Amino acid sequence: MRLTSFTDYTLRTLLYLAANRDRLVTIQDIADLHVISKNHLMKVVYQLGLSGLVETVRGRNGGLRLAKEPKEINIGALVRSTETDFFMAECFDREADTCPLTPNCKLKHTLNDATRAFLAVLDQQTLEDMLPATGPESKPVRIMRMSAKK
C-alpha cells in the first residue's frame, strides 16, 4: 500500500517550505535536494499554487513560499486533495469492476472503513505538527544539498 508519488512530493515540498520560511525557495532547490525530476515537481507546485497553499514571487530573485501558516495546513485534507482516488480494490472503480460478488460483498465496505480510519489519523495533524520540535533540547534541522539529477 502506497500513497502516490504526487502526494509524497507535495508533502515534502510543503515540509521544505515550512522549514525555510526565512527565504524564497526555488523548484530547483527542492529538485536537487530530493534528487527528483524538476518537471514532476513543477506539477506539484502548480497544484499547490491553485489550492492557495504556496505563492510564487516572480523575478530574478524570485521563488516560492508558503501562503498559509503551517498550523493552518491539515495533513488529512491535503492527502485527500492530492490522491487521485482511494480505490483500494477493483470494485471501487465502477467502470473497471467486473466482480460478480460486488452487490453482496462486504469487502468494499470494510476497506472503506479502514481508509476512513487512515485519514482520521491524518486529520488530527497539521504541517506544523510534522516539523521538528524547536525547543532548546531539539537538534537543529540540517538541510544538506544532494548532488543534483540533471
* Cβ contact 33:17 at 8 Å: no
If one asks whether residue 6 binds a second copy (CB under 8 A), the answer comes out as: no
Question: Residues 125-142, buried b or exposed e (16+ Cβ, 10 A)?
Answer: ebbeeeeeeeeeeeeeee
**Residues in Cβ contact with 146 at an 8 Å cutoff, skipping those fewer than 6 apart:** 32, 33, 34, 35
Query: How many residues bind a second copy, per CB under 8 A?
Result: 56
* 38 interacts with a second copy by CB under 8 A: no
By beta-carbon proximity to a second copy, the closer residue of 1 and 50 is 1
Contact pattern from residue 52 through residue 91 relative to a second copy, giving x for each residue in contact according to CB under 8 A and a dash for the rest: -----------------------x---x---x-xxxxxx-
What whole-number distance in Å separates Cα of residue 127 and Cα of residue 18?
A: 8
Q: 5-19 and 75-82 helices cross at what angle (nearest 10)?
A: 140
Task: Select 62 or 149, whichever has its Cβ closest to a second copy.
Answer: 149
Candidate residues 21, 37, 42, 121; the one interacting with a second copy per rule CB under 8 A:
121
Please check whether residue 20 is in contact with residue 40, taking contact to mean a CB–CB distance below 8 angstroms: no
Whichever of 62 and 72 has its CB closer to a second copy, that residue is 72
3-state secondary structure of 47: helix
Q: Does 136 bind a second copy (CB under 8 A)?
A: no
Can you give the binding site for a second copy, defined by CB under 8 A?
Answer: 1-5, 7-8, 11-12, 15-16, 19, 33-35, 75, 79, 83, 85-90, 98-101, 103-107, 110-111, 113-115, 117-122, 125, 129-132, 138-139, 141-144, 146
